[in-house]
Chain A
Amino acid sequence: MTLIEPILEPLADIGGPAQPLLDVKNLTKHFPVGGGFLAEKKTVRAVDDVSFSIAKGETVGIVGESGCGKSTTARLLMHLMPRNAGEILFDGETVGGTLTMRDFRRGMQMVFQDSYASLNPRLTIEDSIAFGPKVHGIADKEARVLARDLMGKVGLRPEVFANRYPHEVSGGQRQRVNIARALALKPRLVILDEAVSALDKSVEAQVLNLLTDLKREFGLTYLFISHDLNVVRYISDRVLVMYLGQVVELGPVDEVWDGPAHPYTRALLAAMPALDPDQRTQEPPITGDPPNPIDPPPGCRFHTRCAFFEPVCAEACPALAPVAGGAHFAACHMVIPGSGHSRAPKAGGNP
């Protein structure tokens, strides 16, 4: 087999290493619900004023429970649904401004949780991977060579798997196909939305190793969304903790794990099974289920489940404020100087 020149060039780096690859400002998405005959119209505040950035070559993790808005955030970033407000800058450019949707989609790709539902059941694996490049103007023959090359990269022997259909391979193999398909357009940023959650543990480790290898080989940047804190800690450089549509804590993964500042983050970490038979959990860290995002509580959204609740928590919504180090932030009245919470540091003085 002769290797052909890759015709699809990766998108060029524009702003240099100092400019974040992705800069998200005040992202907001509200879904209207109800509003039928005589029914009251309500709003799900799925994503509410979320801001963060991802540096080039970084892996950022998003953790949170179901309904916290992590998947909606991913879909908004991919421009799979319109947003109510906010700005998404991809290497300094916005879609519709200097960046076309076509180029944007090449630059950012996504892998979903359900490996079967996200593949076309009528296309063979080779066709699925070659589909994107063909849409972007690559000839059929070259696209197939590229597809087979990528199959090798994700550990699927092309001679065995190229002509199989999605239902003919295992879940772990299907997720490798999805990863290969995402890489076919030479993206710079890959969003992995619960990409390993449906896999068995022994297969999960294989796919995590694969993701690490691919990141190095292709110089990728990852946004890794998961409810599994162990996996997020393993793979991420920085982590975002979300609760009911808002970012409650943000920082380098080790700082957040070693010194979680938000009570929700502490509860989430304490809720992890101990993995030591002698240190079983004795008390649930928090009680109750996450509240319904249709009517999020006023003020701090966590105050209904928080052990440190004080009146100020129900009145004002805390903004992200720096915790100790430079890159660690939490949205809690207990870290905001002079917030009125008895545990808050004094305004103006040193904590």
Chain B
Amino acid sequence: MTAPLVDIRDLTIRFTGERTVYAVNGVSLSLGEGEVLGLLGESGSGKSVTMRALMRLLPKKRTVISGSVAVAGQDVLAMDDATLSAFRGRTVSMIFQEPALALDPVYTIGQQIAESVKRHEGASHATAMARALEMLELVRIPSARRRLDAYPHEMSGGMRQRAMIALALACKPKILLADEPTTALDATVQIQILLLLRELQREMGMSVIFVTHDIGVAIEICDKVAVMYAGQIVETGTLGEIVRTPRHPYPQGLLASTVHGARRGARLQTIPGTPPSLDLAPAACSFAPRCAHAQQRCTERLPPDVVLAPGRTVRCVLAEHPVPVS
């Protein structure tokens, strides 16, 4: 098998300044062609920061990055500015949670999509506008020709998110990074966008990394899932493995605490406490203070990253032993 499309090794990201934040602490990830990987975690778990590092979108002066990030054989961390701007949008594209903020308010949707096509493919204005129309039709924006001349504020939230997807996919990137793209949308619109992304992914054969805090959303779209906590990946596996047989106590707790299907009035299982502050680099298991199974060694040193099978890892001492027969 050839090298994976995305290969992140031991990525560590620290923000410096008034106070230091250890945002990502030793993340390793790989993504093959045509795969959809879900990055699942709560706010502050480092999932968005990891995404931004993949495109080098983090502020240069205040960020200290170590480790390696390779995308399609290229070393992303070593790229100069010219290489980077050719890389962004062409090889990797990103869609964001709030399309109203990500789109430029003073250009029409058509102009914004055409600009990207002209920049990356050297196309003429007419060709680029034709591509823009084609993209708007692809993401099923009604009366697409009229919408080419619309400004972002003239569209509804769901329509804007479709326009941003059209923009991101205009140059047929190999990888799409989706950072909570449906979180700000209404339920009936969210499911439409998820189904659209699933269909486009299948048609275009691209790889997707989908960042979300919502297990339900991850289930609708992902093949593989990596669960993040306090800047580390605590468990990876296929969607079915993570949902049905989670091994790390954190995803176990998350799945148990869901209100979906809980009996009315029955007490919900909870994970006590709150996520740790990230002021210090982790020296022990970050989840130990909230963990029901914590042992002395959990608070003394970093937990091992146990490989159960290819693509199935659990960062927990409990995984070192075979599953107890229940």
B175 to chain A, nearest CB (A): 22
Chain B contact patch, size range: 35 or more
Name the residue on A nearest B239 (C-beta): A277
Docked CA distance A274–B259 (Å):
13
Docked CA distance A285–B186 (Å):
13
User: Residue B85 at the A interface, CB < 8 A?
Assistant: no
Contact call B215/A172, Cβ cutoff below 8 A: no
Q: How many residues of A contact B (CB 8 A)?
A: 48
Contact call B156/A205, Cβ cutoff below 8 A: no
Contact call A284/B267, Cβ cutoff below 8 A: no
Q: SS class of chain A's interface: helix, strand, loop or mixed?
A: loop
Which one, A204, A234, A285, contacts B191 given CB within 8 A? A285
Indicate with 1 or 0, residue by residue over A194-207, a CB within 8 angstroms of chain B CB atoms: 00000011111110
User: Residue B16 at the A interface, CB < 8 A?
Assistant: no
Contacting A at CB under 8 A, from B178-215, are 186-192, 194-195, 213-215
Contact call A273/B186, Cβ cutoff below 8 A: no
Q: Which one, B5-13, B53-61, B116-124, B216-224, is touching chain A?
A: B216-224
Contacting B at CB under 8 A, from A177-233, are 200-206, 208-209, 212, 227, 229-231, 233
Say yes or no: A201-B220 contact (C-beta < 8 A), given A172-B274, A271-B188: no
Name the residue on B nearest A216 (C-beta): B265
Contact call B260/A275, Cβ cutoff below 8 A: yes
Indicate with 1 or 0, residue by residue over A274-297, a CB within 8 angstroms of chain B CB atoms: 111100111111111110100000
Contacting A at CB under 8 A, from B3-33, are none
Contact call A65/B188, Cβ cutoff below 8 A: yes
Contact call A280/B220, Cβ cutoff below 8 A: yes
Q: Please indicate the chain A residues that have their CB under 8 angstroms from the CB of B158 in the complex.
A: 288-289
Docked CA distance A287–B243 (Å):
29
Contact call B259/A273, Cβ cutoff below 8 A: no
Q: Please indicate the chain B residues that have their CB under 8 angstroms from the CB of A209 in the complex.
A: 267-268, 270
User: Mind listing 26 A-B residue pairs with CB under 8 Å?
Assistant: A65-B186, A65-B187, A66-B157, A170-B274, A173-B274, A200-B43, A201-B42, A201-B213, A201-B215, A201-B254, A202-B257, A209-B267, A212-B267, A227-B186, A227-B187, A233-B264, A271-B188, A273-B194, A275-B219, A275-B243, A282-B195, A285-B188, A285-B191, A289-B156, A289-B159, A289-B189
5 closest A-B pairs by CB: A273-B216, A65-B186, A200-B42, A205-B257, A202-B271
B residues contacting A by CB (< 8 A) are 42-43, 142, 156-159, 186-192, 194-195, 213-217, 219-220, 239-240, 243-244, 253-254, 257-262, 264-265, 267-272, 274-275
A residues contacting B by CB (< 8 A) are 65-66, 170-173, 200-206, 208-209, 212, 227, 229-231, 233-237, 253-254, 267-268, 271-277, 280-290, 292
